[in-house]
Amino acid sequence: MDCSVAQEMFGPHVDGELDANSELQLRLHLSECESCTSAVRRLQMRRDMIRSGGLSYQAPTGLEARIRKSIGTDRTSFNWRTFGAIAAAILLVSTFSIRLAQHLGTENRLEQEVISSHVRAMMTGHATDVMSTDRHTVKPWFNGRIDFSPPVIDLAPRGFPLAGGRVDYLDGRVAATLVYQRRKHVIDLFIWPTRPGDAAGDQDSRGFNVIRWTQGGMSFAAVSDLNKTELAQFRDLLKAS
């Protein structure tokens, strides 16, 4: 599949409208084409932001009546001072909406990149660069490959065995990725040094759950098609350890 054909499928893909064969062919193409992957990611972000309703602003009750009273029903009472006050209020709301959109865009972009990296690893069969259930093998493997030391915790006794690790690059930052298993489900745990503005929270998108949190100077993002209850249990076990 070339890029021109793939681009025709982007819209139906993010809306979940492709047939199984077309979806498979597109996913294979995306696993090899970073340009198309980025384009799909941007389209997904725009769709999610619009659907979230986070960019809308609900005017306070009575605002319309007050504006009409100022400039509609009594035209003689209108003056440039009133107009200036209204214009300032509109500018304030617009500025707030733009800043909110920028913040939501940054957070959403990171979570979408986390999901995309997880999907890409699953599709290519390259989930780990170091394959081991031994934390004493996995943790030293990161030495010299990243400039921080990620916590590597063995949760096998609690039903989440370690499978290995790899290095990822997310939203302009290097991340250590630890791979865990829960029955037949794979959990990718992305770890990077905390930056100002790093957030915590839960999200679900495209059939995957993402849980983010910060602890001990590190930011964490766990992603899997595992149900949200068990993924939250995984997070709680890590935090307690």
CATH 3.30.200.100 in the chain, residue ranges: 128-240
What CATH number matches the domain at 128-240, 3.20.20.70, 3.30.200.100, 3.60.20.10, 3.20.20.20? 3.30.200.100
Assess contact for 176 and 216: CB atoms under 8 A.
Answer: no
Are 201 and 133 in contact by the 8 Å Cβ rule? The answer is no
- Give me the numbers of helices (H) and strands (E) for the chain, helices first please: 7, 7
- pTM score of the predicted model: 0.57
Q: What is the pLDDT along the chain (241 residues), one digit of tens a residue?
A: 788 888 888 888 888 887 776 777 888 888 888 888 888 887 777 666 666 544 445 566 676 777 766 665 555 455 555 556 566 655 554 444 344 334 434 457 788 888 888 888 888 788 899 999 999 999 999 999 999 999 999 999 999 999 999 999 887 789 999 999 999 899 999 999 998 777 778 877 778 999 999 999 999 999 999 999 999 999 999 999 8
Task: Report residue 52 CA to chain centroid gap.
Answer: 13
Instruction: Write out the two tokens for 223.
Output: 């992603």
CA dihedral (100, 106, 107, 113) in degrees, to 10, reads 150
R_g of the chain computed on alpha carbons? 23
Structure tokens at 56: 């809308």
Please state, in angstroms and rounded to a whole number, the distance separating the CA atoms of residues 116 and 8: 20
